[in-house]
Amino acid sequence: MSVSEFALGAMMFGAMGNTDHDESVRMIHTALDAGVNFVDTADVYSQGESEVIVGKALKGRRDDVVLATKFALPMSPPMNTDPNRRGGSPRWVKRAVEDSLRRLDTDYIDLYQMHRPDQDTELDETLGALSDLVRAGKVRAIGCSTFPAELIVEARWVAERHGHRPFRTEQPRYSILTRTIEAAVLPAAQRLGMGVLTYGPLSSGWLSGRADPTSGSNRAALSPRAFDMTQRANQVRLDAVRELTKLAEEAGLPLTHLALGFVLAHPAVSSVLIGPRTPEQLRDLLAATDVVLAEDVLDRIDEIVPPGTEINPADNYIDPPRALVDKRLRRR
């Protein structure tokens, strides 16, 4: 499957962002008309509402679109109450895909991704269930999201050892302000020949170009530590944003375009997810399609935020490894 360099992320369609279904559908059509052929959503986005909106938008255009969705995050409100409605167990994988197919109003999903690792289920079981979906024609390819490099490699080893379909893609968080994946995740994906679909290029609004990047973002409610200005990490980040804003002005670019151009410049990146909430945001992001950053601009970015830097760990929505949380696993 060949995909456009920009993918339309649908997280902001529905209760989490834009509640106007008709406007959201028009935004999806605008992106498709502009040459975007890749749409990514997830069952957990507005508890399925995003998938419903995407399904409406793709009526009559399904064959022209590479459609991706995800499973594994909790689908039982309030979150985390039912352990059987989350994760990568075969029972949930087979239930979740049927629910997504129904909401998306489609017979198949092009890319079905595991939204987060499941420390309670063996990868052999999850990959086995996903392989069954591929053989059944309900899914064309499978991928993972926000997996550490060692788990990406383990998943490939398990697939080869047990004859399962492998994860073909990884969807990590990546921006100028969140560069940890440069050290191991992106090199691992390159060595394994995986496609990389990155999310968060504007770093939850920090690189949106707003006068005050800590205001006006509904992400603050989901991740307060990422916007708490009493934390030293966020003060450092704000200083970096100010320097990046100056650099964008010198380069004659909006800050949003600098941010997108940076992510696209990495050779491992196949497609960058843009997740607009409004038509105005969508138009601005689509205008960055042809942005190519000069070498001196990329060098200056490296000076402001060095490669591999994680300014604030709160940016990475990853559960800590069980070996660090459960002291019994660290002591004889």
What pLDDT does residue 227 have? 83
Residue 1, domain member (yes or no): no
What pLDDT does residue 221 have? 58
What tens digit of pLDDT does each residue of 120-178 get? 999 999 999 999 999 999 999 999 999 999 999 999 999 999 999 999 999 999 999 99
Q: Output the six-digit token pair for 316.
A: 């990475």
Residue 81, domain member (yes or no): yes
For the cut 90, the answer to whether the pLDDT of residue 210 exceeds it is no
At residue 80 the predicted structure's pLDDT band, cuts being 50, 70 and 90, is: low
Mean pLDDT across 54-77: 95
Tell me how far apart the alpha carbons of residues 8 and 111 are, in angstroms, rounded to a whole number. 14
Catalytic, out of 45, 112, 174, 199:
45
- pTM, two decimal places: 0.94
Share of the chain above pLDDT 70, in %: 95
Residue the block writes with tokens 């650099």: 247
Residue 261, domain member (yes or no): yes
For the cut 90, the answer to whether the pLDDT of residue 315 exceeds it is no
DSSP 161: H
Q: Is the dihedral of CA 317, 77, 122, 170 positive or negative?
A: negative
Share of the chain above pLDDT 90, in %: 83
Range(s) of the domain holding residue 197? 6-330
We report the CATH number of the domain holding residue 247 as 3.20.20.100
What pLDDT does residue 170 have? 98
What pLDDT does residue 318 have? 66
What tens digit of pLDDT does each residue of 163-204 get? 999 999 999 999 999 999 999 999 999 999 999 999 999 999
For the cut 60, the answer to whether the pLDDT of residue 254 exceeds it is yes
Rg (CA), the chain: 19
For the cut 70, the answer to whether the pLDDT of residue 317 exceeds it is no
What pLDDT does residue 218 have? 61
What pLDDT does residue 93 have? 98
The structural domain count of the chain equals 1
User: How many other CB atoms sit within 10 Å of the CB of residue 237?
Assistant: 24
Note if 45 is an active site residue: yes
Q: Are strands 167-171 and 6-9 parallel, antiparallel or unpaired?
A: unpaired
Residue 95, domain member (yes or no): yes
What tens digit of pLDDT does each residue of 102-111 get? 999 999 999 9
For the cut 90, the answer to whether the pLDDT of residue 220 exceeds it is no
Residue 193, domain member (yes or no): yes
For the cut 60, the answer to whether the pLDDT of residue 217 exceeds it is no
What pLDDT does residue 39 have? 98
At residue 70 the predicted structure's pLDDT band, cuts being 50, 70 and 90, is: very high
Q: Contact 125/90 with Cβ under 8 angstroms?
A: yes
What pLDDT does residue 326 have? 86
Q: Contact 142/182 with Cβ under 8 angstroms?
A: no
Mean pLDDT across 68-97: 90
What pLDDT does residue 225 have? 77
Residue the block writes with tokens 């935020």: 305
What pLDDT does residue 78 have? 64
- HEC secondary structure over 258-271: HHHHHHHCCCCCCE
What pLDDT does residue 229 have? 86
Tell me how far apart the alpha carbons of residues 181 and 149 are, in angstroms, rounded to a whole number. 8
For the cut 90, the answer to whether the pLDDT of residue 294 exceeds it is yes
